[in-house]
Structures are given as C-alpha cells and as structure tokens.
Structure 1
Amino acid sequence: MVPHLIFGIPTHGFFVALGVAVAAVVFVLECRRRDALREESLVAVTGALVGGAIGMRLSSLAETLDPLESWMFGARSVLGGLVGAYAGVLVAKRIIGYRERTGDLFAPAVALGMAVGRVGCHLTEAPGRETGLPWGVHAPGTVPECPGCASGSAMHPSFVYEIVFQLAAFLWLRWARDRITAPGELFTLYVSAYAVFRFLVEFTRANETVWLDLTRPQWFLLPGLVLVAVRLGIGYRRGHYDGVLRRKVAL
C-alpha cells in the first residue's frame, strides 16, 4: 500500500518536489560544464518555475470554464506545466534583456526531473487502460477515477513507460550534447521526441477520450506535432543533426 504521506508531504507532491530539486541540480551542473552559470541563467530558471506552476494550474481550464475553480482545484497537467515553464523562461529573459538560448541547458534537467516526478504519478494515480500484457499492473481500488482499479483489472503501467522514456532521453541527451553544436537544437530534439512519445503513450493512459477516440492531451499535442515536423525538417536540411546521424557533409 502506498503511503499517503512521505515526511509529512503528500506522496505525489513529494516526488514532484524531488523531481524539481533533481532538475535544479542537473541544470546547475550543466551550466558549470558549459561555463554558463550566470545571474541571467538563474533568472531563466526562476521564470521556468513560476511559469510552470501557473501553466499546470491553468491547464485544467480544459476541464472547467470556471477560472477560479480551475486555479484552486484543477488538475496539475504536466503538458500545461511544460508550456508554462517555456513561456516563463521567454518572459524572464525578455525582462532582463537576455538573448542567449538556454534550452540546451534545460533539456537534460527536465528529462531527469520528469522521470523522478512521474514516480509519484505511478504510485498515486490510475495507471492506464486495461491490458492483457504480462507486465500489466494492479492498483488499489481506492485510486480515484479508476474503474479498472476497483474491478481488479490488469492495466498498462503508463507512468512506468514514461519513466523509462525520460531516463533514456536523459542518457541520450548526455551523449548527444557535444555532438550537436547548433544552439537550441538539443532542446528541440528532446521536446520533439517527448511530444511524439506523449501522443502515443496516451493510447495506454486512463485519460478520457473526447472525440475520435483521442484524449484532450492528444488534441492539445496535434498542432504541436505539425510544428515539430516542420522544425525538425529545417534543422535536418541545415545539417544541425549530422553529428548524431553520422551524415557526411558534402564538400
């Protein structure tokens, strides 16, 4: 049985806070490695934290049109948090007039922080849709909004899928960071990979479908996937990914 509290903190909140702490440590270490640990980069982190918190709260407007109810009681969407964090960084950098790209500093930190934070989701939320696969998991019937939990069905461990993805992304980003030299492209590749993964993993999640058997996060992601495809195509044509694709540059 998963404890409701860890050191007096709700289990989900504990792992989210731990994930943020881990991400902060990785970010600082990456800044030091790139000799980019300056006041401006710390301001960007502050913008990410503030924007992420606001984005997670406001993202629940997809569930209710009451802004006050959304802010006070709304779900804390990871996608909303990521969009809010990105917007927060842009606003913070604009305020202080900082023009250098910081996404590549954030990418490994976000990946590892997400992996840690999703442990809390796995322990406290509905795992996923029912499955007959041998690695299906069972959750206590007390998990809210989880018919499969109450019936004792085996379900996809969808959050475990994401933990594995984020850990693999973190390791790949560490490998690729010195092979991709164009500023911002490492972050672009991570966001693109996560967008595709999140769209696909939604088919195993317990989220409600709203239209054409797609969930709200999937509809949220669809326009982004189009932009991602265009952005990756531009980067590929410009040779930004040759270092990881081992594509030879024509002389």
Structure 2
Amino acid sequence: MTFPIWIDLGFIKLHPHTVFEALAYFVGFRVYLLTRSKDKLPLAQGIWVIVGAILGAAIGSKLLYWLEDPARTIENWNDYVYMMEGKTIVGGLLGGLIGVEWMKKRVGITRSTGDDMALPIILGMMIGRIGCFMTGLDDHTYGTATTWPIGVDFGDGIPRHPTQLYEIVFLLVLGVVLYRKKRQGAMPEGMVFQLFMTGYLLFRFTVDFIKPTPHPYLGLNNVQLACIAGLIYYGYLMSSRLRRPQHSHKEEL
C-alpha cells in the first residue's frame, strides 16, 4: 500500500484528504437536516446554530493547532502556509461549542440543540478520518512506532499505530450506543451531546499519548490540555444535572 492513496477517476486524481473532508461536511450537514427534531427548532434557527458551529470550529481548530508547538508557531507567525495548513478536531469541537452557545444567545434560543448534532458530527468525523488514514504521513494524524501486528507502514518503513482507524472504531461504537439511547428517549435533553463530548474527549486524551506530537506541557500535549478543560466543563454540567430535580434541568448543549 502506497500513501497517499489517491482517488483515481480516470481523467483526474483527487487527494483523499480533500475528498473525504468535503464529503464529511456534506454528509454530516445533510444528515443533520434530515434527522433534526423539527418540532424543537425552526429551520431558520437551526441554520444559525450551524453557522455558529462552523465559525467557532474554524477558529478553535486553528488556535489549538498553533498551541501544539508554541515555539515553532512564534517562529513561523508570518508564514501563511504554516499558520493556515493545520487544524485539530478537538479544537474544532470546543470552538464549535462556544460558537453555538454564543449564536444561541444572539438569536434567542433557550433550549438544547446538541442532541441533534451528535450523530451527524460522529458520522462526519468517521468519514474525515478515512481521508486522514489514506493521506498517510503528510496528515500527521498517525501514531507512534509499534510492534503490534496491526501497525501500518505509512511510507517511512516504520510500522505505526493507525490511530485514525482506532478513532473510527471508537466513534462507530459510541455512535451506536448514543443512537440507541436517543431512540429510547430516556435521557434528559442535551445529555446525548454531553455524553458524546465526554466520551470523545476521554478517548482523545488517552490516544494522544501514542501520538508523535510535542508534549511540552508537563508531559501532555495541546490536545490533551484542551480535553481536560472540556472534561471539567462537561463533568460540571452532568454533575449539576444529577443534583437538580428532573423538572428543573437547565437545557445546555
């Protein structure tokens, strides 16, 4: 297997990262429109929520990427290619969270909107990670060297943890569990999204120990610090929910 795995249409070859990233956004958005609870949120307000999520995700994914290696970022602050080429999913999720909450206040939405987003986001992330895997070394999403039989040589002769595939499997399992919980309708509004974020942040905090990225923050990297902040936030939300009577639960993303 040679990386990157180009998508050959006969008359043109397309880079897998570009194709699957575009497909992830398209499919995720379409699934959101098809599966959202239309009785809870008018379409116009739903579109504004999406706008807030996109803007927040774009900003958050860049900010967290720049914190991966602060010294290198300062050194290359005037290099447009370096500053714009990278992004992080965790930064995108947390930035999207902030963007959605800000937009909800701007347009007067008071109820939870996250449950409708959880499964489309999971599906989009799974599709996107296929592109990350097919890109190989250039994507910088692979893991450290391993002697495990499932190690993948992405082109440098070193078998590495295919952390992109680990993430796809994890998201598939998480998505199935949350889908069943949502269908049962037994959880308070907003809990599906909170469980998604908590589960994914825990996964990323763990798997990033086998990512060959700088870990300059007391043995942790930028993504792990963001995961800790997100877990503290969602831990507070869920513990507060458990302490309050069912009828008084505040509906949050």
| Matched AA of 1:189 | L
| Matched AA of 1:47 | G
2:215 corresponds, among 198, 209, 213, to 209
Matched, 1:14 2:25: no
Which aligned pairs between 1:27-38 and structure 2 lie closer than 5 A? 27-32=32-37, 36-38=41-43
Matched, 1:186 2:195: no
Report deviation, 1:158: 0.6
Task: With the length of structure 2 as denominator, give the TM-score of the two structures.
Answer: 0.80
Q: What whole-Å deviation, never above 9, does each CA across 1:50-88 have from its counterpart, x for those lacking one?
A: 221222223333132476647843511111111221122
CA distance in 2, matches of 1:129, 1:228: 29
CA distance in 2, matches of 1:55, 1:12: 20
In the other structure, the counterpart of 2:250 is none
Matched, 1:173 2:178: yes
1:196 corresponds, among 172, 178, 202, to 202
Matched, 1:230 2:236: yes
In the other structure, the counterpart of 1:131 is 146
In the other structure, the counterpart of 1:120 is 131
Change in Cα spacing, 1:132 to 1:225, as seen in structure 2 (3 Å) is same
| Matched AA of 2:63 | L
User: 5+ unaligned residues in a row in structure 1: which ranges?
Assistant: 141-149, 241-251
CA distance in 2, matches of 1:182, 1:85: 22
User: 5+ unaligned residues in a row in structure 2: which ranges?
Assistant: 247-253
Report deviation, 1:176: 0.5
Contact 2:63 2:91 in 1 (8 A): yes
Q: What whole-Å deviation, never above 9, does each CA across 1:168-226 have from its counterpart, x for those lacking one?
A: 12211210013334111111111011111110111222222224432221122223333
In the other structure, the counterpart of 1:145 is none
CA distance in 2, matches of 1:230, 1:130: 36
Change in Cα spacing, 1:117 to 1:179, as seen in structure 2 (3 Å) is same
Change in Cα spacing, 1:96 to 1:68, as seen in structure 2 (3 Å) is farther
1:45 corresponds, among 50, 60, 65, to 50
| Matched AA of 1:129 | T
Task: With the length of structure 1 as denominator, give the TM-score of the two structures.
Answer: 0.80
- RMSD of aligned alpha carbons: 2.5
Report deviation, 1:3: 4.0
